Amino acid sequence: MGSCTTRRSLLAGAARSVLAGSALWREARATEAPAAPVALAGCASYGAELLPTLTRMFDQIGGLGRIVKGKTVAVKVNLTGGPESRMGYLPIGLTTWTHPGVIAATIHLMGRAGARRIRLLESPWKSAEPLQEHMIGAGWDISLFTSAAPVVEFENTNFLGYGKSYVRFPVPRGGHLFPAYDLNHAYADCDALVSIGKLKEHLTAGITLSMKNCFGITPCTIYGDGAPQEEPGLVPLGGRFPIHTGSRQPPKSSLSEINPDSPREGGYRVPRCVADLVAARPIHLAIIDGVESQTTVETVSRNATYVKPHLLVAGTNAVCVDAVGAAVMGFDPMADRGSLPFERCDSTLRLAEELGVGTRDLTRIEVIGGRISDLVFDYRKAGGSRPATQRKG
Amino acid sequence: MPSDTLLPFRWPSEWTDPALLELIAGSPINCVLLEAPDADGAVAVAARKAGVAVLHWKSLSATPLAEVKWDTPAPQRVITGLVWPRIKMSAAGRSNDVQAGPTGAPWIDSNAWVAHLARVRGRGAPLWLSFEPDKDAPKPDTTAYNIAIADSAAAGARWIVTLDPQLRRGLMAGNGDAARTWRTLLGMLGFFEQHRKWSEWEPWGALGILSAFSGEYEFLGQEVLNLAARRNLHYRVLDRLVAPGTLPEALRAILYVDAVAPTPEWKAALDGFARRGGLLIVPRALAAQFPGGIPSPSALPGYSTRALGRGEVAVAARDWDDPYFLAQDAHSLVSRSRDPVRLFNAGSLWEHYSESADTKAAVLQLVGFSNRPYDSVSIATARPWRTASLYVPGGASVGLEPVRVDGRLEYHLPPFSYFAALEFGL
Complex-level ipTM: 0.91
Among the listed residues A250, A200, A187, A255, the one whose alpha carbon sits nearest the alpha carbon of residue A222 = A250
Residue A56 burial class via C-beta count within 10 angstroms: exposed 0-12, middle 13-18, buried 19 and up: middle
Predicted confidence at residue B96, as pLDDT, reads 46
Q: Using an 8 Å Cβ cutoff, are A105 and A196 in contact?
A: no
Q: Which helix (H) or strand (E) holds B365?
A: strand B361-368
Please report which residue ranges of chain A form alpha helices under DSSP H.
2-32, 50-60, 65-68, 100-112, 131-137, 143-146, 220-223, 241-245, 266-280, 318-328, 348-354, 372-375, 379-382
Q: Using an 8 Å Cβ cutoff, are A321 and A306 in contact?
A: no
* Closest CB from B301, B335, B342 relative to A162: B301
Q: Using an 8 Å Cβ cutoff, are A88 and B376 in contact?
A: yes
**Amino acid letter for position B362:** A
Q: Using an 8 Å Cβ cutoff, are B7 and B193 in contact?
A: yes
Q: Using an 8 Å Cβ cutoff, are A51 and A108 in contact?
A: yes
Whether B296 has its CB under 8 Å from any CB of chain A: the answer is: no
**Tens digit of each residue's pLDDT (9 = 90 or more) over A220-229:** 999 999 999 9
Mean pLDDT (chain A, rounded): 92
SS3 content of chain A, % helix, strand, coil (to 5): 35, 15, 50
**Inter-chain contact A137–B336, Cβ cutoff 8 Å?**
yes
Q: Which helix (H) or strand (E) holds B230?
A: helix B218-230
**Inter-chain contact A93–B406, Cβ cutoff 8 Å?**
yes
pLDDT band for position A155 (50/70/90)?
Answer: very high
Identify the bridge partners of residue A40 per DSSP, sorted by sequence position: A313, A369
Report the C-alpha gap between A215 and A217 in whole angstroms. 6
Report the C-alpha gap between A284 and A149 in whole angstroms. 19
Whether B299 has its CB under 8 Å from any CB of chain A: the answer is: yes
Chain B residues whose beta carbon lies within 8 Å of the beta carbon of residue A100: 406
**Amino acid letter for position A386:** R
**Sign of CA pseudo-dihedral A101, A102, A106, A112:** positive
**Sign of CA pseudo-dihedral B382, B384, B385, B388:** positive
What structural domains does chain B harbor? 3-200 (3.20.20), 205-338 (3.40.50.880), 341-425 (2.60.40.1180)
Q: Using an 8 Å Cβ cutoff, are A190 and A163 in contact?
A: no
Side-chain-facing half-sphere of B360: CA atoms under 13 Å: 2
Chain B residues whose beta carbon lies within 8 Å of the beta carbon of residue A93: 406
Chain B residues whose beta carbon lies within 8 Å of the beta carbon of residue A136: 335-337
* Closest CB from A84, A129, A141 relative to B344: A84
Report the C-alpha gap between B359 and B362 in whole angstroms. 7
From chain A, which residues contact B within 8 Å (Cβ)? 84-86, 88-89, 91, 93, 100, 126-130, 132-133, 136-137, 139-141, 159-162, 235, 237-239
Q: What is the end-to-end Cα distance of chain B in Å, rounded?
A: 35
**Sign of CA pseudo-dihedral B39, B41, B45, B51:** negative
Question: Is the per-residue pLDDT at A6 higher than 50?
Answer: no
Predicted confidence at residue A24, as pLDDT, reads 62
Report the C-alpha gap between B341 and B282 in whole angstroms. 26
CB pairs under 8 A between A and B: 66
pLDDT band for position A32 (50/70/90)?
Answer: confident
Helix B323-334 and helix B218-230: axis angle, to 10°?
Answer: 60
Q: Which helix (H) or strand (E) holds B363?
A: strand B361-368
The pTM assigned to this predicted structure is: 0.91
Report the C-alpha gap between A322 and A315 in whole angstroms. 9
The ranges of chain B with pLDDT < 70 are 36-39, 89-105
Chain A residues whose beta carbon lies within 8 Å of the beta carbon of residue B337: 136
Return the residue in B324, B344, B350, B405 with the most chain A beta carbons within 10 A, the one to mutate for interface testing: B344
How is the beta sheet containing B361-368 ordered, strand by strand? B202-203, B349-355, B361-368, B419-425, B387-391, B398-399
**Inter-chain contact B346–A137, Cβ cutoff 8 Å?**
no
* Closest CB from A136, A237, A238 relative to B337: A136
**Tens digit of each residue's pLDDT (9 = 90 or more) over A255-302:** 999 999 999 999 999 999 999 999 999 999 999 999 999 998 888 888
**Tens digit of each residue's pLDDT (9 = 90 or more) over A112-154:** 999 999 999 999 977 889 999 999 999 999 999 999 999 999 9
Pairing of strands A152-156, A117-122: parallel
**Inter-chain contact A133–B346, Cβ cutoff 8 Å?**
no
The neighbour count for residue B338, using CB atoms within 10 Å, is: 17
Q: Using an 8 Å Cβ cutoff, are A206 and A347 in contact?
A: yes
* Closest CB from B102, B332, B403 relative to A129: B332
Report the C-alpha gap between A151 and A144 in whole angstroms. 13
Sequence-distant (6+) residues with CB within 8 A of A19 are none
Distance from CA of B345 to the nearest CA of A (A): 5
**Tens digit of each residue's pLDDT (9 = 90 or more) over A169-215:** 999 999 999 999 999 999 999 999 999 999 999 999 999 999 999 99
Whether B373 has its CB under 8 Å from any CB of chain A: the answer is: no
Question: Is the per-residue pLDDT at A392 higher than 50?
Answer: no
How is the beta sheet containing B158-159 ordered, strand by strand? B63-64, B77-80, B127-129, B158-159
Report the C-alpha gap between A381 and A375 in whole angstroms. 15
Question: Is the per-residue pLDDT at A387 higher than 80?
Answer: no
Predicted confidence at residue B97, as pLDDT, reads 52
Mean pLDDT of A64-68: 98
Question: What would the DSSP string read from start to end of A270-281?
Answer: HHHHHHHHHHHS
Chain A residues whose beta carbon lies within 8 Å of the beta carbon of residue B346: 84
Whether B389 has its CB under 8 Å from any CB of chain A: the answer is: no
**Inter-chain contact A137–B342, Cβ cutoff 8 Å?**
yes
Distance from CA of A100 to the nearest CA of B (A): 10
Report the C-alpha gap between B261 and B242 in whole angstroms. 14
Q: Using an 8 Å Cβ cutoff, are A293 and A309 in contact?
A: yes
Mean pLDDT of A81-108: 96
Among the listed residues A278, A285, A284, A281, the one whose alpha carbon sits nearest the alpha carbon of residue A354 = A278
Predicted confidence at residue A7, as pLDDT, reads 47
B-chain residue closest to A83, CA distance: B344
The neighbour count for residue A16, using CB atoms within 10 Å, is: 10
Q: Using an 8 Å Cβ cutoff, are B81 and B62 in contact?
A: no
Q: Which helix (H) or strand (E) holds A154?
A: strand A152-156
Report the C-alpha gap between B69 and B78 in whole angstroms. 11
Sequence-distant (6+) residues with CB within 8 A of A207 are A200, A201, A322, A325, A326, A329, A331, A341, A348
Distance from CA of A233 to the nearest CA of B (A): 13
* Closest CB from A136, A139, A239 relative to B335: A136
